[in-house]
Amino acid sequence: MRAPGFSLLETTLAMGLMGILGAAGGASLPGPGLAFVPGEMRGALDQAFLLARARGREVRVALGAEGGEIPPVRLPRGVRWGLPGAAIPLPRDMDAPVRAHVTGASHPFIVVSPRGTVTAAAWFVTDGRDALCLRLSGQGRIRLLRWRRELQAWMEA
């Protein structure tokens, strides 16, 4: 009498089929490398706000480069600062920050005060298909937009 269960061959075939389906489904997702970047950027800014408040003085921040008082944001493989060219327009109601469009940041450094004010800035990152725009107002409000290639529009993230 055979014990209930699956043979090694049946299990191997099922796992192989699940792997193929998982890889096909994962490849169709837009910008999976961008998924972790918003949390990293917000975390770095939160760290800067807390550090400024704790020290009682301004803190210098450079999200994409060395030279700030907090560690720079590390981007996943395949993600870089800037937009992938003229195919993606700037978000609505945003003046043309030529530097941010090309280099990824409107200002190389921003300054966060203990009172929560900050040098207004914008950062762009892309994976070559989709893009993120993190906008920071002078009052320290963070707005995160994501370019959706399939919709040809910037959407709140």
**What does each C-alpha distance from 26 to 22, 35, 105, 138 come to in angstroms?**
6, 13, 30, 38
* Residue 1 predicted with pLDDT over 60: no
Q: Which is it for the CA torsion 96, 100, 105, 108, positive or negative?
A: negative
pLDDT one-digit tens code per residue, 16-48: 666 666 655 544 444 577 888 888 888 888 999
- Joined together, the tokens standing for residue 34 give 């961008």
33-156 architecture in CATH?
3-Layer(bab) Sandwich (3.55)
Length of the chain in terms of residues written: 157
Helix/strand/coil for 33: helix
Domain definitions of the chain by residue range: 33-156
In this prediction, residue 50 carries a pLDDT of 92
What are the backbone dihedrals phi and psi of residue 118, each rounded to the nearest 5 degrees, phi first? -155, 155
Q: How confident is the model at residue 55 (pLDDT cuts 50, 70, 90)?
A: very high
In this prediction, residue 114 carries a pLDDT of 92
Q: Considering the entire predicted model, what is its pTM?
A: 0.69
pLDDT one-digit tens code per residue, 66-120: 888 888 888 888 888 887 677 788 888 776 655 665 666 666 778 899 998 888 7
Helix/strand/coil for 99: helix
